[in-house]
Amino acid sequence: MTFFVTIGDLLIKYWPNFLKGAGVTMLLALAGTISGFLIGMIIQCVRTIPEKEKGFGRIALKIIKGVLTAYVELFRGTPMMVQACLIYFGAPILFGWQLNKLIAGYLVITINTGAYMAEIVRGGFDSIDVGQRDGATALGMNHVKTMIYIIIPQTMRRILPAAGNELVANIKDTTVLNVIGVIELFSNVKDVINFTFKSFEPFVIAALIYFVLTFTVTRLLKLLEKGLEGKAHYELIEETETQPEKLAIGQSGGTLTVRGLRKSFGKNDVLKGVDFHVASGEVVSIIGSSGSGKSTLLRCINLLSKPDEGEILLDNMNAARLKEPTAYRAKVAMVFQQFNLFENLNVLENCIIGQTKVLGATKEDAEKNALYYLRAVGMERFLKAYPRQLSGGQKQRVAIARALAMSPEIILFDEPTSALDPEMVGEVLKVMRTLADSGMTMVVVTHEMSFAKEAADRVIFMDAGIIAEEGTPDELFNHPKNERTKEFLQRILADHSFDLANSV
């Protein structure tokens, strides 16, 4: 009982000391953590800047990245107490600066935290699926816009628990600033001990205060984390119009010519000199076994992968020579196998961002355009839904609407139905057939032979990185000339018959 009475007496008599110390501790920890977070974010953003193939810029960027890496390793590898002494006592010796103790403490926490935050942010960046970057790049967004609008917002949500732990650690680690004479909570507790000659009770009070501070911060961060997650449920929008049978395309289809396209990954030659032409309004389906180079071909056409050799002519403009291909990508839309919708944006925002950030459209015009195409693909009711709340078929229809909203000249489809359940395939193929009937120039890599037969004007069969055969659907499916084409079709048809038998 005497113990608790002593605790009460100390709190009543020395509460200004405890309160002032707690305030300084919280101020240093919070300010230093926020500043350190900004430093860590900047460091990691610089680390992600793509390096040029050659030139002074490439060398300069490598040097900058090397310096930043050295900073991170140095301040993660040395104790904060040593850093405090080096900064506070070293500043007058090296620069003639006599730092204020609070400013020195702030700098110590900031610099130390920045090194740890850089690694936390790196982990957050690395956790973002590469498809998010591909989706943004395919829309024509450059690296900076991709980071600002897609990667960083998603990273913030993922690293918040780790960043919160860093703040909690800093609240406790301000005690090491005693070494340079900063008067924070721990220092004030030692003063109380000197005044009262009691050692145990003041430390108990300090422990309780630290616990209250960290507990409060933790709960506030959990509320912030929950807010960043967004609502678990979304509101369905009332349908206003029926889906149009024929889509109004933003501009007439472009012509695409590929000549001598080659692409290797190390010693693996994936494309070995591909040549083909797609006329305006034509639908070309590309079929072939896995590993034949179909998806790589599409990625090269969109310049997501840079071809080693060859020409990619869009209306006679050679895109393969472009140094800045963002405007070209806006004309050559791409729909991915794994959808690549932006996880931090809802359905409507996914269809708006490319228009506003790449094409420079106003938000009002972008919304109007997006609503038309979302209505056309049957997704108008899901405007407020996020990708995680949609089925595979719904995601793919939104991805098609996002591509159409950019008013492209050509749309590339990379196996758009292979990631879907069989019952969802039909709804996506229906949209694609409507699109084909509307006059859009389309290049479709697909395993859906029915679509290739019914909707394509021409079918290309790829094998081992080359075009082995091409022709009309009737020519290729009913009268194939190449032996490899015959083997592929026989196997596909046999597998299809087996699937049908099992389904019955």
pLDDT category of residue 420 using cuts at 50, 70 and 90: confident
Taking the whole predicted model, whether its pTM rises above 0.75 is answered as yes
Residue 267 predicted with pLDDT over 90 = no
Query: Mean pLDDT throughout 419-446?
Result: 81
Question: Given this model, what pLDDT does residue 497 score?
Answer: 47
Question: Given this model, what pLDDT does residue 350 score?
Answer: 96
Q: How far are the Cα atoms of 71, 172, 181 from residue 95, in angstroms, in the given order?
A: 19, 30, 20
Q: How far apart are CA 215 and CA 109, in angstroms?
A: 20
250 closest CA partner among 433, 434, 404 = 404
Question: Given this model, what pLDDT does residue 250 score?
Answer: 59
Question: Given this model, what pLDDT does residue 504 score?
Answer: 31
Whether 339 and 396 have beta carbons less than 8 Å apart is answered as yes
Q: How far apart are CA 130 and CA 151, in angstroms?
A: 10
Whether 185 and 24 have beta carbons less than 8 Å apart is answered as yes
130 closest CA partner among 107, 110, 154, 109 = 154
Among 102-106, 319-323, 353-357, top mean pLDDT goes to: 353-357
Q: How far apart are CA 207 and CA 191, in angstroms?
A: 16
pLDDT category of residue 275 using cuts at 50, 70 and 90: very high
Among 117-131, 167-181, 319-333, 423-437, top mean pLDDT goes to: 117-131
Question: Given this model, what pLDDT does residue 503 score?
Answer: 34
Residue 79 predicted with pLDDT over 60 = yes
Residue 498 predicted with pLDDT over 50 = no
Amino acid 176 reads V
More confident residue, 96 or 304: 304
Question: Given this model, what pLDDT does residue 207 score?
Answer: 86
Question: Given this model, what pLDDT does residue 45 score?
Answer: 94
Query: Mean pLDDT throughout 458-465?
Result: 91
Query: Mean pLDDT throughout 265-290?
Result: 90
Question: Given this model, what pLDDT does residue 163 score?
Answer: 93
Instruction: Give the per-residue SS3 of 155-198.
Output: HHHHHHHHHHHHHHHHHHHHHHHHHHCCCCHHHHHHHHHHHHCC
Instruction: Give the per-residue SS3 of 80-107.
Output: HHHHHHHHHHHHHHHHCCCCCHHHHHHH
Query: Mean pLDDT throughout 81-98?
Result: 86
Beta-strand relationship, 410-414 and 332-335? parallel
pLDDT category of residue 327 using cuts at 50, 70 and 90: confident
pLDDT category of residue 145 using cuts at 50, 70 and 90: very high
**Residues contacting residue 153 through CB under 8 Å, at least 6 positions apart:** 344
Indicate the range of 51-65, 275-289, 386-400 predicted with least confidence: 51-65
The counts of H helices and E strands in the chain are 18, 10
Query: Mean pLDDT throughout 187-213?
Result: 83
262 closest CA partner among 316, 310, 312, 207 = 310
**Residues contacting residue 147 through CB under 8 Å, at least 6 positions apart:** 45, 48
Query: Mean pLDDT throughout 12-31?
Result: 85
Residue 201 predicted with pLDDT over 90 = no
436 closest CA partner among 247, 276, 278, 269 = 247
Query: Mean pLDDT throughout 200-208?
Result: 83
Whether 419 and 343 have beta carbons less than 8 Å apart is answered as no
Q: Between helices 200-229 and 152-173, what is the axis angle to 10°?
A: 170
Question: Given this model, what pLDDT does residue 247 score?
Answer: 64
Radius of gyration of the chain (CA): 30
Query: Mean pLDDT throughout 117-133?
Result: 94
Residue 502 predicted with pLDDT over 50 = no
Q: How far apart are CA 29 and CA 99, in angstroms?
A: 18
Indicate the range of 44-48, 94-98, 339-343 predicted with least confidence: 94-98
Look over the chain and give the mean of its residue pLDDT values, rounded to a whole number.
Answer: 86
Question: Given this model, what pLDDT does residue 58 score?
Answer: 84
Q: How far apart are CA 446 and CA 412, in angstroms?
A: 11
Indicate the range of 276-285, 376-385, 421-430 predicted with least confidence: 421-430
Query: Mean pLDDT throughout 24-37?
Result: 93
pLDDT category of residue 500 using cuts at 50, 70 and 90: very low
254 closest CA partner among 408, 409, 403, 406 = 409
